[in-house]
Amino acid sequence: MNPIRTVVCPIDFSPATARQVGLASDICRAFGAQMVLHHNVTDVSVGAAVSWMWHADHVPAGPTSVDDQLRRYVRSVPRDVEVETCITRGAVIEGVLAVSDAAEADLVVLCEHAGKAEDHASVIEFMLARSNRAVLALHDQGADAALPRFVSGDGEQSVTQAIVVPVNVNNTAHPQVDLACDLARLFPLRLELLHVIESGTGESASSSATRQRLHDLVAPDLASRASVHVDSGDPVSAIVSAARRLSAVCIVMGEHTRVPLKRWFKRDTSRAVLHEAHCPVWYVPSGAVAARSFERFALSDEKSSLWGNV
CA distance 227 to 82: 37
Task: State the residue range of the domain holding 56.
Answer: 6-138
The answer to whether 50 and 92 have CB atoms below 8 angstroms apart is yes
Q: Which residue has the higher pLDDT, 256 or 17?
A: 17
Whether 97 and 220 map to the same domain: the answer is: no
Whether 122 and 186 map to the same domain: the answer is: no
The percent helix, strand, coil of the chain (3-state, each to 5) is 35, 20, 45
Would residue 270 count as lying in a domain? yes
CA distance 116 to 113: 7
Give just the sign of the alpha carbon dihedral 79, 139, 222, 161.
positive
Strands 281-284 and 135-138: antiparallel
The answer to whether 124 and 96 have CB atoms below 8 angstroms apart is no
Would residue 152 count as lying in a domain? no
Would residue 168 count as lying in a domain? yes
pLDDT of 125: 83
Would residue 144 count as lying in a domain? no
Longest Cα pair distance anywhere in the chain, in angstroms? 62
Whether 13 and 114 map to the same domain: the answer is: yes
Q: For residue 234, give the 3-state DSSP assignment.
A: coil
* Residue 188 identity (one-letter amino acid): P
Would residue 143 count as lying in a domain? no
CA distance 21 to 11: 8
Average of per-residue pLDDT across 282-308: 49
The answer to whether 136 and 282 have CB atoms below 8 angstroms apart is yes
Whether 197 and 90 map to the same domain: the answer is: no
Whether 130 and 203 map to the same domain: the answer is: no
Could you tell me the pTM of the whole model? 0.81
pLDDT of 154: 54
Whether 201 and 255 map to the same domain: the answer is: yes
Whether 119 and 212 map to the same domain: the answer is: no
Whether 115 and 17 map to the same domain: the answer is: yes
Total domains in the chain come to 2
- pLDDT value at 265 more than 60: no
Domain boundary among 138, 170, 205: 138
Please, which pLDDT band fits residue 217 given cuts at 50, 70 and 90? very high
Q: For residue 246, give the 3-state DSSP assignment.
A: coil
Would residue 147 count as lying in a domain? no
Whether 166 and 287 map to the same domain: the answer is: yes
Task: Indicate which CATH number applies to the domain containing 105.
Answer: 3.40.50.620
Q: Which residue has the higher pLDDT, 130 or 279?
A: 279
Low-confidence winner among 141-145, 220-224, 245-249, 266-270 (lowest mean pLDDT): 266-270
308: left (phi over 0), alpha (psi -120 to 50) or beta: left
Average of per-residue pLDDT across 97-101: 94
Would residue 240 count as lying in a domain? yes
Whether 173 and 129 map to the same domain: the answer is: no
